Structure 1
Amino acid sequence: MDDGLDLARQVTRAAASSGSPAARRRRRRPTPTGTPLPDDVRSAHPDRRRGAISGAHPDERDPQLLESEVARLVGRGGWDLPLRMRGVFARWPELVGDDVAGHCTPESFVDGVLVVRTDSTAWATQLTLLTPTILGRLNADLGSGTVRVLEVRGPHLPTWKKGRRSTRDGRGPRDTYG
């Protein structure tokens, strides 16, 4: 009975005795039991079917950096502008200043319109006066023309429309807020 060393010697002698290098590559390799593998099993490995064998140089099959993969995913999904706007919401005090940010917060951004809610009507008026400056800062950070309109809204006020018998154009308790 042949052991593994004798089998290796037989394979080496057979390879050395075959004529061309192409013929040596085409030879079937024997299994440890001595029977050669069929061609369809040998070519079942995906790298052999494609003709690509992994090497020392980087290629697309290597692990990629997380930053580049996330950037590719964001670009393919079309999420670039919404993510940048969420960054503006997070950095609002840095962009408009601590004093202004203490009295107003951004609520939404849709189709170039940024809605900002203030905590009083006086700050709503002040923010309306500061609109060109704020738009300039936002567009410098996000890209020209990203934010076209800054819609300033006053504080949330209570509604006086309660019950079945409310009047349509009623003025409430005639008090001013803010």
Structure 2
Amino acid sequence: MPDVSTSAGGESASGDVPETISTYLRLRGLEPSARGVRRRRRRYESDDDNAPFTSGRDPRGLDDVLAALTREAGWNPQLAREDVVRTWNEVAGEDTARHTRPVAFTDGTLTVQADSTAWAKQLQLMRAHIMTEIVRRYPEAGVTGVRFIGPDVPSWKWGPRTIPGRGPRDTYG
């Protein structure tokens, strides 16, 4: 095995092989040669992303990595819509949130169900304020409108699977 002792300048005693590369080669059981180092150096100069000890190779925080992942995967609009639902009590207010809940997102329209028809009508009057708050907090959500509906009551007269007729009569008795 060759002598890989270093001088004060960081170069090996054999010539122009840097200490870091000679240490790496020694640990791998390979013999450092100036010709191989020059070949690798040229390759690293053309591919700066893989060069060690260069800028951009610093470790990044988990939040930065996750933000880049969601942005590249195109998940930001969906996550923003999820945040609207998750923080509904902050967007609409505590009192309003106790009587309402978001139930659907369809083509940019947020559908909110209220406990009573009175709450649904009151929220229709507050539509502009709630819409402004959603757009201010979550611009990536893509909410273009808000629809307020009353309580969910079963109906056999409406919907895509209705048939003409009187409906169920002896089902509950």
Superposition TM-score tier, normalisation by shorter sequence: 0.5 to 0.7
Partners of 1:145 and 1:24 in 2: CA distance:
60
* Residues 1:67 and 2:58 aligned together: no
Aligned to 2:87: 91
**What is the identity, as a one-letter code, of the residue corresponding to 2:52?**
S
Q: CA RMSD in A?
A: 4.2
Partner of 2:44: 50
If the length of structure 2 is used for normalisation, what is the TM-score? 0.61
Distance 1:167 1:67, change over 3 A: closer
Matched length? 144
Give the direction of change, closer, same or farther, for the CA distance of 1:90–1:167 in structure 2 (3 Å limit).
closer
Q: Give 3-state SS (helix, strand or coil) of 1:95's partner.
A: helix
Q: Give the structure 1 partner of residue 9 of structure 2.
A: none
Q: How does 1:14-33 map to 2 (within 5 A)?
A: 24-25=15-16
Q: Tell me which amino acid in the other structure corresponds to 1:140.
A: R
Cα distance in structure 1, aligned partners of 2:140 and 2:77? 13
* Counterpart position of 1:17: none
SS at match of 2:118: helix
Higher mean C-alpha deviation, range 98-107 or range 59-68 = 59-68
Map Cα deviations across residues 24-79 of structure 1 (whole Å, 9 max, x no partner).
338xx9x99xxx8496xx66xx8895357633xx6333422111111111111111
For residue 169 of structure 1, report the CA deviation from its aligned partner: 5.6
Aligned twin of 2:111: 115
- Aligned partners of 2:77 and 2:140 also within 8 Å: no
Cα drift, residue 170 of structure 1: 4.1
Identity of aligned residues (%): 30
Larger radius of gyration between Structure 1 and Structure 2? 1
Q: Any gaps of 5 or more consecutive residues in structure 2?
A: 6-11
